Amino acid sequence: MDLRAPEPGGPAVTRGHILIDDVVKVYDPEGAAVMAVDHCSLDIDAGEICMIVGPSGCGKTTLLNAIAGFHDITSGTILLDGAVLCSKERPKAEPGPDRIVVFQNGALFPWKTNLDNVVFGPVMQGKLTPKEAVDKGRAMMADAGLAGVELNYPGEVSSGMRRRVEIVRALMNDPKVLLLDEPYRALDSLTKSVMHEALLEIYYKNKVTIFFITHDLEEAIFLGHKVAIMTTRPCKPKKVLTVDIPHPRDYGVLTSKRFRELIEETNDAVHEEALKAFQAGEKEG
Partner 1 sequence: MELTLNQTAQDADLDVLRATTPFRDAPDALLRTITSIARRARHAAGERVYTAGDDADDIFIVVSGIVEHVFTPEVGARDPLKRMTGGGVFGWAGLLLGQTKRLATVTASEPTEVLRIGAEELVKVLESDAAAGNAVMERFASMITREFTVPELLAQVRRLSGRPQPEEMTTLGLTMYRLSLWLKSPRPYLMVVGFALFLGFWYLSVEVWRLPRFKEMPGITAVIKEWLSPNPTYGLSFYTAEYYQHIGMSVWRVAQAFFLATALGVPFGLFLGWSRKFKEYVFPVFELLRPIPILAWVPLAIVMFIATESAVVYLAFLAAFFATALNTMLGVESIDESYVRAASCLGAKKSQVFRHVILPGALPFIFTGLQISIGVSWFSLVAAEMVSGQYGLGYVINTSYMMVRYPTIVIGMITLGVVGYVTSAMVRIAGDYLMEWRVRELALAER
Residues that bind partner 1 (CB under 8 A): 1-2, 68-70, 95-97, 99-101, 103, 105-107, 109-113, 120-121, 124-125, 145-153, 155-158, 161, 169, 173
Q: How far is the CB of 64 from partner 1 (least distance, A)?
A: 11
Q: Which is nearer to partner 1, 58 or 100 (CB)?
A: 100
Least Å from the CB of residue 148 to partner 1: 3
Measured distance CA(87)–CA(260) in Å, rounded:
39
SS3 (DSSP) at 116: helix
Of 27 and 70, which has the nearer Cβ to partner 1? Answer: 70
Beta bridge partners of 18: 44, 80
φ, ψ (nearest 5 deg) of residue 160: -60, -45
User: Least distance from C-beta 225 to partner 1, angstroms?
Assistant: 24
d(Cα 165, Cα 116) in Å, to the nearest integer? 11
Query: Shortest distance, CB of residue 39 to partner 1, whole angstroms?
Result: 27
Of residues 118 and 270, the one with the C-beta less far from partner 1: 118
In the complex with partner 1, the residue whose CB is nearer, 1 or 186, is 1
Per-residue b/e over 239-269, b at no fewer than 16 CB within 10 Å? bebebeeebbbeeebeeeeebeebbeebeeb
CB 211 within 8 A of CB 44: yes
Question: Could you tell me how far CA 54 lies from the centroid of its own chain?
Answer: 14
Indicate the residue among 98 and 272 with the shorter CB distance to partner 1. Answer: 98
| Dist. CA 265–CA 75, nearest whole Å | 32
Q: Which is nearer to partner 1, 38 or 174 (CB)?
A: 174
Q: Please report how close the Cβ of residue 217 comes to partner 1 at its closest, in angstroms.
A: 26
Name the residue nearer to partner 1 (CB basis): 25 or 226: 25
- Terminal alpha carbon distance of the chain: 47
Question: At closest approach, how far in Å is the CB of 70 from partner 1?
Answer: 6
Q: Where are the alpha helices (DSSP H) in the chain?
A: 60-68, 114-118, 120-125, 130-143, 159-171, 189-205, 217-223, 257-284
Q: How far is the CB of 155 from partner 1 (least distance, A)?
A: 4
